[in-house]
Amino acid sequence: MEKIFFTPGPAHLYPSVEKHLASALRNNLGSISHRGKQFQQIFAETTQNLRQLLSLPSDFGIYFTGSATEIWEKSLSSCVEKSSFHFVNGSFSKKYFEFAKELGLHSHKAEAPMGEGFDVSKIDIPTEVEVICCTQNETSTGVQMPVSDIHALKDKYPEKFIFVDAVSSTPHPRFDWNKVDSMLFSVQKALGMPAGLGVWIANPATIEKAKALKAKGHKASPYHNLIQLAENGSKNETPATPNVLYIYLLGKIAEDMLSKGVENIRQETSSKAKMLYDFSESSSQFSSFVQNKEHRSETVVVVNTVRPSAEIIEEVKKDNMVLGAGYGSLKESQLRIANFPAISVEDVEKLIDKLRRL
Ligand SMILES: *Cc1c(COP(=O)(O)O)cnc(C)c1O
């Protein structure tokens, strides 16, 4: 019997993955040259579909890497000379900050306890900071940074760059691209693909910043720095031999999401999230980890459990559903439930029904 994966990445595959992967192999995409016309067309089609899916302006670049983790590193090493600022409230946002430290940057952070978000209006960002890094959806704790808070940062600090990690929410957040300079995600979360591809979006100002730093003698990493990605990307190519299959697959998944309608997907995501939160509020066995409703993620729902979470995961597995455990020290007492587009309303109903009967 087919399993439903409620795990927050790798996650349940989008229903059309199998069909598109089969057609990719049938069309020999595993063997074509990445310097030929056929690949350039695939690159062009995938970026065009993503541009439409995310309502991205035509002058923003879309580039492919091996993972989102790679983009943390490349975004900092390509675009930051001295200082970045990080909103840290869980394991992923913390790692982005730690990368900055590893790279020798003089970086700053605002830190919130696990399960909490930020009051961005109360946070002062030092003058020397060039780039503000926000984790829109902190996958370890199920805390989201409301898009309006991210936009407000650009209003308050128009001269600073806003970089957003939206790995476990894309395509759910509706960004105003006048307020976001760069965004990154990977495909094994809400896009419902197997892991192995990161996507980096950057506006012309971000690319100019990387070029200006280079002109000053700043050393970015030689592999997959932003200038190199942009130069190759302008020819619908990649610096190294890329994951052609997944670039193709991503274009097809984006196309399928477009035919369903991105607004329909967003509404469905919101209503499934509401079902999960309403259930956990009404149950004596579960409760929502994130108290502030504004900060509750709609794509990764984290609930506290009364019983050890491993027992619940085992029970639910008997009905072919796979839940995520809590992250790190919260492993035993929490469940993380991915609410990505590949999960249907019926899947959520089935899960809630099972949890209710435990
Ligand atoms: C999963 C995740 C990452 C890392 O993605 P990789 O594709 O494994 O590199 C980064 N940020 C967030 C918020 C994530 O959920």
Q: What is the token pair recorded at 10?
A: 């790798």
Please report the atom of ligand 1 found closest to the CA of residue 300. Answer: 15
Q: How far is the CA of 164 from the centre of ligand 1 (A)?
A: 12
Ligand 1 in contact with 200 (CB < 6 A)?
A: no
User: Which of 143, 187, 189, 302, when mutated, tests ligand 1's pocket best, judged by the most ligand atoms within 8 Å of its CB?
Assistant: 189
Alpha-carbon dihedral sign for residues 16, 22, 26, 31: positive
**pLDDT at position 71, please?**
98
Angstrom distance (rounded) from CA 350 to CA 26: 36
Query: Left (φ > 0), alpha (ψ -120 to 50) or beta: where does 330 sit?
Result: alpha
Report percent pLDDT > 90 for the chain: 99
CA-based nearest residue to 308, from 338, 287, 332, 330: 332
CA of 167 from ligand 1 middle (Å) equals 6
Ligand 1 binding pocket includes 255 (Cβ within 6 Å)? no
For the stretch 278-283, contacts whose Cβ atoms lie closer than 8 Å and that sit 24 or more positions apart, written own/partner, are 279/352, 279/355, 279/356, 283/355, 283/356
* Pure H helices in the chain: 17-26, 37-53, 68-79, 91-102, 147-156, 204-215, 226-233, 244-260, 262-282, 309-317, 345-357
Predicted confidence (pLDDT) at residue 112 exceeds the cutoff of 80: yes
pLDDT for 25 beyond 80: yes
Global confidence as pTM: 0.98
Alpha-carbon torsion 216, 221, 226, 232, what sign? positive
- Non-local (6+) Cβ contacts of 101 within 8 A are 107
What residues are paired with 200 via a beta bridge?
63, 184
136/288 Cα distance (integer angstroms): 19
pLDDT confidence band for 1 (50 / 70 / 90): confident
Mutate to test the pocket of ligand 1, among 185, 186, 336 (most ligand atoms within 8 A of CB): 186
Report CA(244)–ligand 1 centroid distance (Å).
21
150 φ/ψ angles, rounded to the nearest 5 degrees = -65, -45
How many angstroms separate the CA atoms of 298 and 333, rounded? 20
Q: How confident is the model at residue 92 (pLDDT cuts 50, 70, 90)?
A: very high
Ligand 1 centroid – CA 287 distance (Å):
25
pLDDT tens digits for 26-61?
A: 999 999 999 999 999 999 999 999 999 999 999 999
Q: How confident is the model at residue 185 (pLDDT cuts 50, 70, 90)?
A: very high
**Is residue 139 within 6 Å of ligand 1 at its C-beta?**
yes
Testing ligand 1's pocket by substitution, the residue of 7, 72, 89, 92 carrying the most ligand atoms inside 8 A of its CB is 92
3-state SS string over 173-229?
CCCCCCCCCEEEEECCCCCCCCCCCEEEEECHHHHHHHHHHHHCCCCCCCCCCHHHH
Report whether the peptide linkage leading into residue 57 is cis, meaning its omega lies within 30 degrees of zero. no
pLDDT, one tens digit per residue, over 231-290 is 999 999 999 999 999 999 999 999 999 999 999 999 999 999 999 999 999 999 999 999
Cα-to-centroid distance, 327 and ligand 1 (Å) = 13
With 80 as the cut, is the pLDDT of residue 109 above it? yes
186 CB near ligand 1 (under 6 Å): yes
The string of pLDDT tens digits covering residues 312-356 is 999 999 999 999 999 988 999 999 999 999 999 999 999 999 999
- Asked if 77 and 122 count as a contact pair (C-beta separation under 8 A), the reply is no
Is ligand 1 within 6 A of the CB of residue 162?
no
pLDDT at position 213 over 80: yes
Phi-psi region of 9 (alpha: psi -120 to 50; beta: other; left: phi over 0): left
